[in-house]
Amino acid sequence: MSGSWWSSAAVTHGLVALFAMGSWVSVNSLWIELPVIVNVLPEGWNLPAYISVLIAFGNIGPIAVTITHYCAPGRLNERLVIHCIQVLAVVASALLAIFWSHTVTIAGAERSLPFLLFTFVMSLFCCTSNVTFLPYMFSYPPQYIRTFFIGQGFSALFPCVVALGQGVAKLECKTVNGTVHPQYLKENFPVQNFFWFLCVMLSISALSFQALMQRQKRLQDNAVQQEADNAAAKNGEETHPLHNGGTPVSEDQMRVEEQPRTFWTRRNIYLLSLLAVSNALTNGALPAVQSFSSLPYGPMTFHLSVVLGNIANPLACFLAMIVILRSSAGLGLMSLAGGVFAAYLMALAALSPCPPLLGTSAGMALVVTSGIIFTGLYSYLKVVIGTVLHEAGHAALLWGGISIQAGTLIGALTMFPLVNVYQVFEPAQECVDSCTT
């Protein structure tokens, strides 16, 4: 059959991964492109503070979705919300590619108002995706949750690879009048091209979701027809609606699947707490100090740490498709082990610009390896918890999304004053050895 390949599980996995890829690709791309943007926009290196605040305001979306679920249970059309925020993100990214460098005069000072406005719109999309994309995945069997998290890993990996090809933050040390100065090299392609790439990725994500909707409708129509044809042959044989050959279910079936059982058990609260802590570290705390922890060892160490860490994310999610650790004690030990590596990286950031083993291969290897293991452990942990929450129902996935967003927000708000206000962490200076005795 010509359409059999389109209905295959492999295509579904691919579409789910591409759909999930769009969840945080906007914000990830902004952070990755930041070293180039700050050299053009008038806010300079104050721009990260503005972006952090705008991302915090983006939590208006998750709050609105959560209130709607609470006040009108079952009335929110998640599919429509996803379509709307995806279209909004695609339009915002296209306008960002055109107007990102434009400025306006406010109170006598030049401000990059278009960039900040479109950044807020994309932050709103990213934050809202945590409480819409993940609950939507309840309409698919549990194995697709793992594919979903692999796709989320791509949202950081793909922009990172493109930025490396662009040559972001590449520099060479020039000696002028006996003084060494860093000289940043020109990028291989301009910022607007990078933002057009972002627009393409968001468009692919939106089209993948539309394809999932079309396939879902076709499969459900075929299931209804087959049920009518085989009505006489049915003798009370039951199948689980979420495991009907991998076929997604409708919203009405999802409501039937929801059972009035108690969700707030000690185990589920424990899992949500682990999910919040892991996201506070991976999405909030450690990214804020990654330059402080790895850049003193050199630009190559920094780039290896970023790239290999982003590769570890989808690889860990892929491992979860093969091996699932469900033990509460095992998940706790995994979280604790990840916390040890997180503490090491945080200690390196606190000791910047003169961390231990500076200038040695061992120091470089330790910081890169720690970043890989830290990211891999917590990525695996998030996939396993997502799988377990899927089995607990649609509401559990909603609370999982809320926990992810809450943890991310807490981590970011905790680090923001330490990095930008109190300046606890001291950056390493390019081409300058600040640690010679």
Question: pLDDT tens across 345-378, in order?
Answer: 999 999 999 999 998 999 999 999 999 999 999 9
User: What DSSP string runs through 40-77?
Assistant: TSTTGGGHHHHHHHHHHHTTHHHHHHHHHHHHSTT---
Is residue 223 predicted with pLDDT exceeding 60? yes
> Residue 401's pLDDT is what?
94
> Residue 284's pLDDT is what?
84
Most confident of 169-173, 299-303, 343-347: 343-347
Mean pLDDT for 231-257 is 50
| Location of structure tokens 């089209």 | 207
Mean pLDDT for 260-285 is 89
Encoding tokens for residue 399?
């609370």
> Residue 233's pLDDT is what?
56
Task: Say how far apart CA 380 and CA 375 lie, in whole Å.
Answer: 9
Q: Which residue has the higher pLDDT, 166 or 35?
A: 166
Task: Say how far apart CA 312 and CA 68 lie, in whole Å.
Answer: 36
Q: What is the mean pLDDT of the chain?
A: 86
- Going by pLDDT thresholds of 50, 70 and 90, the confidence category of residue 202 is very high
Is residue 244 predicted with pLDDT exceeding 70? no
Query: What φ, ψ does residue 172 adopt, rounded to 5°?
Result: -140, 150
- Going by pLDDT thresholds of 50, 70 and 90, the confidence category of residue 295 is confident
Tell me: cis bond preceding 353? Omega within 30 of 0 counts: yes
> Residue 239's pLDDT is what?
45
Helix, strand, coil fractions of the chain, as percent rounded to 5: 70, 5, 25
- Going by pLDDT thresholds of 50, 70 and 90, the confidence category of residue 231 is low
- Going by pLDDT thresholds of 50, 70 and 90, the confidence category of residue 259 is very low
- Going by pLDDT thresholds of 50, 70 and 90, the confidence category of residue 2 is low
> Residue 3's pLDDT is what?
58
> Residue 245's pLDDT is what?
46
Is residue 213 predicted with pLDDT exceeding 60? yes
Single-letter amino acid code for the residue at 376: G
User: What is the tens place of the pLDDT at every residue in 112-165?
Assistant: 999 999 999 999 999 999 999 999 999 899 889 999 999 999 998 999 889 888
Is residue 236 predicted with pLDDT exceeding 80? no
> Residue 348's pLDDT is what?
96
Mean pLDDT for 14-34 is 92
| Location of structure tokens 């920094």 | 302
- Backbone dihedral region of 169: left (phi > 0), alpha (psi from -120 to 50 degrees) or beta? left
Work out the angle between the directed axes of helices 286-294 and 328-350 (0-180°, nearest 10). 50
> Residue 249's pLDDT is what?
56
> Residue 246's pLDDT is what?
52
Task: Say how far apart CA 146 and CA 375 lie, in whole Å.
Answer: 16
Is residue 263 predicted with pLDDT exceeding 90? no
Specify the range with the lowest mean pLDDT, choosing from 148-157, 251-260, 410-419.
Answer: 251-260
- The pTM for the full model equals 0.84
User: What is the tens place of the pLDDT at every residue in 75-88?
Assistant: 899 999 999 999 99
Number of H helices, E strands in the chain: 16, 4
Is residue 318 predicted with pLDDT exceeding 60? yes
